[in-house]
Structure 1
Amino acid sequence: MSHYSGCMDSQKPHFLEACFLCRKPLGYNSDIFMYRGNTPFCSKECRQEQIEVDESTRKKSWKMSSSSSRSTRKSDPKDSTSKKTVRTGTVAVA
């Protein structure tokens, strides 16, 4: 049983037991590098790798949402499963 474990074996492991990225056990009395409040890493390198993955994912997500908001879908009257086109935007009412 590790230092961070709960008193019962059936409990979930404590979030500070292993590195979030490489799963290396985090030792008692060793440095723990945190990210986003409660995500532990064994080293600056593991933490930096996760930050880069998150930034890359965020950029891809932003590009996808940006490009999909510009495109419109047209319904094909021949296709009975086609969906109606919905336009979104800002509406001002005076």
Structure 2
Amino acid sequence: MAGTVTQVQHRVSIDLDAPQEFTDLVGRTRKVQAVRIEYGLSPIADRVDVVVEYTDSAALVPPAADKPDWMLALIAEHKPAGPTYTLT
């Protein structure tokens, strides 16, 4: 059966060995216990969604927000290779 792939997703959940600090857009600095990263690619946009998990809540990190180096390293480390990033 023929078809066209319109979106591919890859989701990673990471429990941090050592909680990391993150300052949100409102200026609150809290310790992040876990991170969920969802890589997606569609013909419209290549995007990465990040959710930070605290002990008592979770929050989506807005795409335009500054991300600390530790978070950028996790995003790069777990980025899938192959078909997810060659969708046309």
Quickly name the TM-score band, shorter chain normalised. Answer: under 0.3
Structure with greater helix percent = 1
State the TM-score, normalizing by the size of structure 2.
0.24
User: Which structure has the larger Rg over C-alpha atoms?
Assistant: 1
**Greater RCO between the two (CA within 8 Å, min separation 6)?**
2
Structure with greater strand percent = 2
State the TM-score, normalizing by the size of structure 1.
0.23
